[in-house]
Amino acid sequence: MSKAAAAIVPAGCKVLACRVFEPELRGLGLPPERVAYLDQGLHRHPDLLRQTLAQGLRELEQDPDMKRVVLAYGYCGGGLEGLTAQGAELVLPLAHDCIPLLLGRSVGAPCVGCSATFYLSPGWIEHGKTPYTEYFVTEEKFGAEDALWVGKEMLKGYHEVALIETLAGLGPRHRRYARDMARLFGLGCRELRGRAGWLRRLLQGRAGQGVALLPPGRPVHLGLYPQAEPGRPQETENSRACHTS
């Protein structure tokens, strides 16, 4: 492991992360053996997510040298409620979903993903399920017309697609995915520049500024998290439109 990565994740610490964070954690220099990834689709089933996270924690805590586990997860609709580490300190971001963590915005907008913007990131495109991926699954079974209707129903209330440029960078595939998704469902499209500061603080276990440290035996609960603000207008720097024509 590089000195930079060791400084971010000290000895006796591992990361339990949603697969959507793989590009960013890889970009920060974390070797694969320091991170345990779980499937992105678990966030659709909070009870299953909670069970899988608990099992992941138990497996990590079998290492007697494990002092700290970092969770690269938002609250995920209650998926973290009641989660408890038995012998290690638990570090988690105080965000209701992963989008604020990718954008690098914490206290001012705890639930950015609750807005009328559908956010994408390199990890979401590479490992996640979206209305765009679901469109092709539905099209194969029921045809394009039904698939388009289902996709638009899933995106009812959304006005645009926003592609987050994280420290992992954006490639042609990411931009094409965002443009094609926006065009298919008749949405606007833009790019946003994310910041890695919050993610770095999380990995370093620095309490405050959107990061909580829970001692062994203390469960995760909703009261730890800031009040969500659905419908809050998007306020971010370095925004530019995608070209969908």
Containing 146, the helix (H) or strand (E) segment is helix 144-154
Confidence of residue 56 (pLDDT cuts 50, 70, 90): very high
DSSP 154-188: HTTT--EEEEEE-TT---HHHHHHHHHHHHHHT-E
In the structure encoding, which two tokens stand for residue 156, read together? 């009812």
pLDDT reading at 195 higher than 50:
yes
Model confidence at 12, pLDDT cuts 50, 70, 90, reads confident
Q: Supply the pLDDT for residue 114.
A: 54
What was the pLDDT predicted at 123? 95
From residue 116, alpha-carbon distances to 127, 148, 155, 232, 234 in Å are 22, 19, 9, 9, 9
The owner of tokens 């999380």 is: 202
Helix (H) or strand (E) run with residue 133 in it = helix 131-142
Q: What is the DSSP letter of 209?
A: S
Of 119, 147, 149, which is closest to residue 133 (Cα–Cα)? 147
Which region, left, alpha or beta, applies to residue 82 given φ > 0 means left and ψ of -120 to 50 means alpha?
left
pLDDT in tens, 117-167: 999 999 999 999 999 999 999 999 999 999 999 999 999 999 999 999 999
First to last CA, the chain: 45
